[in-house]
Structure 1
Amino acid sequence: MEVNSSIQLLISLCKAQVIINTEPNELVDGESGQVIINTEPNELVDGESVQVIINTEPNGLVDAESGQVIINTESNELVEGQSGNVTCIYNNAYSISMSRSVSKQRDDGYWGCGVQGLQSETPINNTTIDVKVPVKGVEIENKNSLNLVNGVSTKMNCKVTNNPDPVINYRWFIVFLILDKPNKPSVKIEPEVSGNYKIIEGNTVELKCIVTDANPDGSLSYKWYKDTITTPTGQVGSTVQISKKGIYTCSVSNGIGTPGISDSITIDVLFPPRVTLTPQYSIIESNNLTIPYGPEVRVSTSRIDIIESNKLVINCTVIQSKPDDASINWYKPDGTSISSNVLSIDNTRRDQGGIYSCNSSKVLKPSIGTTKTNVDSKTTIVNIWYLDRVKITRTKLDIQEGDKINITCTTQSNPTASITYRNGTDVIQTDNSNQASFIKLAATCLDTNVYSCQVNNPNIPQTSYNDTIQILVNCKYSFSDTNKQNVEFITVKSPRPDPRVDHQYKITGNIGESVEITAQVISYPKPIFQWYYRENNVDIPIVNNGSFQQTNISTNINTFISKLTINITTNKFYRRYYLNVSNEVNPGGSDLQYDIISETVPDRPINITYKNITSDTICIEWTPGFNGGASQSFIVQHSTDDKTWVNSSTILDDTNNGRVDYCIEGLEPDTSYYIRVIASNKYGESLIGILSQSEPPKTASRQGKMYETMKNSIPTLFITLSQNMSSNEFDVVGLDIGIVLAILAAVVVGVILYKWRQGKGKEEETYDSIDPRIRADGQTYQELNTVHNTVTPQASDAARYYNLRAGQTTTDLDDTRPYANL
C-alpha cells in the first residue's frame, strides 16, 4: 500500500463522541493490518467500556483520491440491553467498529461516518439507527381484586412494566379460570318414598327439607306448602312434623333467583271404620221399607257485619232431606218473609239490621206410620255499621270572661263513635260516645279560638267527619302580674299581658345602640296601643320619628304585639316608658311599664328555698333576678355562725323552668347553716339573696351503723315473709320472728353493756404516762400543718366598694350612664 507520509487520514465514527486517528506510516506498506484500541469508561457516554477495532486492507487507499465510506449496522436496528455493533468502512480497505451494550437513550438516532485528510473531497456517510426497546414485563392490573361472576361483565387491563418501542400488540390467553357461579338451591324431601307415605291417625311423620346444592349456602330460608305451591302451612324450619293428610312441598331461598322447589310427597292418614246406628222400624214381612228424614238447614254465616249501603248476601242450604223437595223461606226482623234460599239486599239501611231466620219445612210420609211435618231453622245476625256527620253546638253565644263554655258534639254511629275535641290544633278531650260535651267552668281570654269536633267509627277506618265553631271570649276581668324579676306592676283590666310568653320589663342598651321593647297582650275586642313617657309629670305621646318607631301586629284573633324601637343617642332616653292598651271593653285602657337602663350589676336572686336535706347535704333553688344586660353567674355561700362564709364554685345561669338549683355537700350532721346566694356579671356583684324560710336549715342526724342495719333489714325481712306466707304459715313465722327479735334485743343490750364497761375501765386509768405532744404513731402535734380558712367574710354589701379611692370625682366614671339606678 502506497501512502503519502505527508497526508494524514482521519476516519471518524460519531455518535459515541469518540474520534480515532490513524497514521498511515503505522501500517506496513502492502500488507493487511489491524489496530485495536480499548477505551476506558470515562471516554464514552453512559459509563460503559467499549472496544474499537480498525481494520486495514492492502491497496485500499489511493493517495490524493477520495473513496467511499459505508456504515454497517445489523439491519439498522439495535435492541436495548443487547450487544450491538456499528462499523464504518472506507473503500473496503479501512474500517472502524464499535461494539457495546445498546442503550436507547444514548444510541438511538443519527450517526455519521467520514474520512478526513484526503487532498480531494472528504467522503462522508450518514444513517439513522433505530434502537428497539423490548417488553420486559407484563401484568394484569388489580388482579387480586377482580371478581368474576357468571353473566356479569368485568373489565381487565393488561399493563407492561416498561416503555417498549415500537408499539406492541396484545394477545389475551385463558390459561385456567374458575368462576364462583351462584345458583339457587336444589332441594329434596326426606324420607324419599315411592308412592304415598302412610301414617295411622294420631301419629306424625317428620319431613326434612334437604338442600343438595346451593351457592351461596350460608343463609337459607325455608317454607312448606300443603296441597298447592301457593298455600303455605306457616312452617318455616328445615324439619316439620306432619299429622294431616295432604300433598307437601318445601321451598328454599338463598337470594339467587326464585326459590328452589322440591318434589312433593303425599301423606295418607289411615283410620278405622266408624259405624252409625239408624233407628229401628217394625214392619210387616215382605213390605218395602222407606225412611224419610230431614230437612236440615245450614246458613253461610251466623253473623255478618256490613257497612251501611253495601250489598248483603246470605245463602241458606238444605243439606239433608229425603225427599229433597223441602221448601225454604227467609224471615226478616220486621216479620215479613221471602221464598228463596238466598237473602239479598242491594243497598242496606241501618233499620234493616237484626236477626234473620231461614226456615225449611217438609211433610214426611213414611211407608209405615204417621205423616209428620218437620221444620228446621237457622238464624243470622245482621249488624250494620254506620257513621253520620257530626254537629257541634254551644249553649251560649255571648261569652264573657268567667262564664262557662259548653260545647256539645252529636252524631249517630254504630258501633259508638270516637269523638275528639280540639282547641285550635291542641287535643283537649276525647270520648267514646255518640253525644258528648266539653265544659270549661270559667272561660279566660286565652280560650278564644276555633274549636273543632272530629268523629270516627273504628270499624269504618276510611271515614271521619269534622265540624268547627268559633268561640269568642270578651276579656273584662281585672288582672295583676309579677314578672320574674319580682317587680309587681299595676293591676290591669283587659287587655292584659299574654301569660304564655316571658315578658321583659327591663331592657338594657348603650348610647349609640337601638333597643326594642316588645309587648304581647291578649285582648278581645281588638286593642288600641299608645306608647308614651312622662316628663315633669306630663305624659308625652310617642310618635314615629328618628328616635322612635312603633310597629303593631296581630298573631291571632285575640293576640296582639306592639313593638317600640328606641335609638339611644343621649342619657335622656334612659327612663320609664308606658304602653296604654285599650279596647271597647276597657276604653280607658291599662298601662304597662318598661324601663330602659344601661348595663349594670345583676339584681339579687329571689325566692331562695331549700328542697332536700340529708345528714351532709342541703339542696337549694332560686329564681334569678334581672341580669343587668350581661350574662350572669352565681355563688352559694354557707356559714354556721353568720360570720365566716364558705364559697361554692361558680354556678352558671342554667335555669330549669325559671329556677336554678345547687346542692351544698360535705356538711356536718345535725348542724344549722346560714345560706345566701350572690349573682355577678362583668359589672360586679348583686345584692345578697337570702333564704325565704325564717329559720336556717339544719342537717339531719347521722344514725349508728347497727341501728341502720336493724332498721333496714328487719322490716324488709318482715315484708318479704308476709308476701309469701299463708295466714297459718304467717302465725308460725310470726312466733319465729318474735324469737329472733328477742335475740337481737339481747345482743344489742349486751353490746351496750360491754362498751359501757370498756369506757368505765378507761375512766379509771391514769394519764400520767401520756405525753400530750406525742401521738400514738410517734408524730408530734407541732408537726401538723395549720389549716387556715382563706375565705374572706362579707360582713355587709358596702364592703364591696372599699376599693373606691377617697376623693374620687365623678369624672373618673362613665358619664354616659344614668344614675337613677344607684
Structure 2
Amino acid sequence: MSIQVQYPVSNPIVTVNNRSISTGFAIREDRLVHLNCFSAGYPQPSYNWTYPGGRSTGAFLKCAFTRNNGSVSCKAYNVMRTLDGTNSTEAEEKNIALNIDVLYPPVITKLSSNDKNVDINNSTIRVQRGDNISIVCTSDANPPATVFWNGQLSVLSTLTVTSVQHDALWTCQAKNNMTEFDGVISTSSATRNISAIVLYSPDVQRLQNQTVLLNTTLTVLCNLTDVGNPPASNFSWIRKDNGKVMSTGQTLTIKNIRLTDEGEYQCNASNIMQPITNEVLYGLSQSTVYINVEYGAYVRVFKANQSNNSIVVNQGETVDLVCDADGDPEPVVRIMNTTRGNESILVEIKGNEAKYHIKQANCEYDIGNYTCSAKNHYNEKRQLLALFVYCSPRTSPFSPPVTTLYRAPNDNVLFTFTIIAYPKPTSQDIVWYKRYADSWRLLSDDTNSVVAISDDSMQTQLNIFHVQLKDYTDYMVNVSNKWGSTVQVFTLKAQSKPEVPKEIQVRRTGQTEVIIEWIPGFNGGESQTFTIRYKALSDGSWMVFPINISHYIWTIDGLKFGTTYQIQMMALNTIGQSDWTQEIKITTLFDAGGAAGVVIIVAVLVVIWRHRRRGLITTKHCRTKRTSLTKYEDLIRGQGNNDASTTDGSYAICRIESSQSRNANQLETLVELESHDFSIMSACYAQRDNTTSAKISASGQTDVSTTDPEYVNLQLFPN
C-alpha cells in the first residue's frame, strides 16, 4: 500500500547566485543575477516572484535591478488533495520578501550659487574682474559620494574664489565606493566642469611724451597692454585743455603740425561688459601724452653798430656785434670770424642773443667776414656780415711772404705777396720791379715772366718760367691805395746740384803722373768740390779720392809707366752731386832711360824754338774763375774772359797751336836753345797765379815738376 503524506509548504529560502539571502542584499545597478526560491512541502510547492516592474513564476528568477527598485519577494504554495484525487479546499502558502539595496555611481546633479552676480548657464558663468565667487556642487550616488573641487586644498563641495581675475575652468568631482552582496567592491567617480568668463576693461599702454618738428606730421598710436574682455571696440582722442575730440580711432594723426598744436592729449579705450544682469557696464582705460612742437634754429638779425650786412669803420673805432637767434630746443649761438676760411669762434652761448665787442678795430685782424651761427639738433642757420677798416696796404700776417726762393736753372719760380688793405687797391696800384745792377726797372709781362693779380686785388704773384742766369736777382712789388703804400722785396737764388764738369782733358803726361784740367759747370748756387776716379784698363776697380779745392787743375801721380788709364770726375755741393763725366783715356810714358829723357826734352825745346823763329801763329787761352754768381755767367755761356786780375782760384792755360806740320828732323842743339828768347812761355807764366798749391798729388806730395815754371800749363798739339 502506498501512503502519500501531504503537508503544507515551508518558509521559502532565496539564494542569489547560489548565495543564501535572508533579509536583503546590496547589488550594483544593472547587474544581472540569478535568484532561486526553495520551499519544502507536499505536493511540490509552486513559486511566484514579484519584483519591481514585473511578476514571474517558477523557482528561478533572472533579472537586474535599477536604482530605487525597493524589494523583491518569492511566494511558495501547494494544494493538498483528497483520496479521490480532488483538490482540497485548503491551500497553504508562504512568502519571503527581500530588501534590495541598488548601488550606483555618483552623478553631479547641480552647480549652484547664492551670489546674485553669478549665474550658471550651461556650465558657464560671466563675472566681472575682481568679483568673489561661491559655487556649490551637488551629486547623487549610492552610497553617497564624496564631493570636492579639483585644485582646492580642502575637500568641500563648495568652490570659493576671491577676486577673480582671469577666465578659468574649474572641475567638481564626486566619488564613491560600492560593496555588493558577494563582496565585490568597485569605485566610481563623476566630474563636471564650469567655465568662468571674466569681464574686464581694456588697459591702455602708458604713452610717452612726443617731440615733433614744426610743419611735419605726427602719428601717435594708442596701444593696449590688454584689449579687455570683450575686446575694446571704442577709441577716442581728446585735447585736455578744451575737451575737443581730435580723433575717434586708435591713431591720432596731426598733419603739418603748428605751434598751437602743442599741448596734452588723452586717449580713451572702452568696451561693453554685460554680465548676468541686464545692466550695461562699460570698461574704460585712459592715458595722456604731451606733444611738444619744436623748430629749427635760425638767426633773426645779425648787426654791427646797428648796421646789417656790412659796415666800414676807421682804424681804432669800436664795433659791437650782436646776433639775435631763436630755436626750440634752445640754440647754441656763435659769433665767428670766417675771413680766411677758418672759423675762429669769438663768443659762444646757449640762448638767444650773443654779443661781441671790438674795442679798437684793427685792419690786420678785424677786417673781414663775420658769421652768426644758430644751431640746435635740427639744423644750423647762418647770417653773414662784412666789417671793413680803412687802412693803407700792408703785408698780411696770415700769409707772410717767402722773400727768398732757391731754384735751379730752367725751373719755374712763383713769388706771392698777400696784403690787407681797404679800400682795395686796383690793378694799376700793384706794380712789380726787377733789379738790374743797382737800379730798379719796371717789370712787364713777357714770355719769361707773368704778373697775376687776384680778383679781390689782395694778392699778387710773379711767375718766372724756365729760370735763366739773368733771372737770379731781386724783385720788388709796390702796392698802394689812397691811404698809403707798401713795398716788398723778393730774391731769387740758385740752389741745385752742380752741373757736370766740362772739357776734362790731360794737360801733361809723365811716366808716373798725369796733370788733368777741366772747366767747372754751374755750381747750383752753392760751393762745389770735385771727386776724381781712375783705373787701369786691365784693373776692374776704381781709385776714388775727393778734391776739396777751388782750382781746376790736378795732378794724379803714383801711376805705372807705360799703362793706359781711364779717368772720370764729378762735382758735388750741399744739394747733391752731378753725373760722372765721360771717361778719358791716357797712357803714361815708358821709362826709356836718362839719355832718352834728355833727348826728348831737347827735342821739345827745339820744336818750340823753331816755331817761334818761323813766326807761327799762336793763340793764348787764359781762363779764370770768378768768385760771384755773375762771374760764373761767362763760363756757363761759354764766353772767354781775359781779365788778368784773377782770384786765388784762377788758373792760366797757354796752348800753342801750329797750322804747319812739324818736321821731326828739325832739331837744334841745346846750346842754340839756351841763346833764344822764351818770350811766349814767360808771358803765359806771367798771367798765371801760383798754381803749385793745386798740384798736390793723389798721395798728398807736392809734384817736383812744379818747380820748373817752363813746364807749367804747357801742352803741345801736333797738327
Normalised to the residue count of structure 2, the TM-score between the two structures is 0.33
Normalised to the residue count of structure 1, the TM-score between the two structures is 0.29
> RCO greater where, 1 or 2, for CA within 8 Å and sep 6 or more?
2
Q: Which has the higher strand share?
A: 2
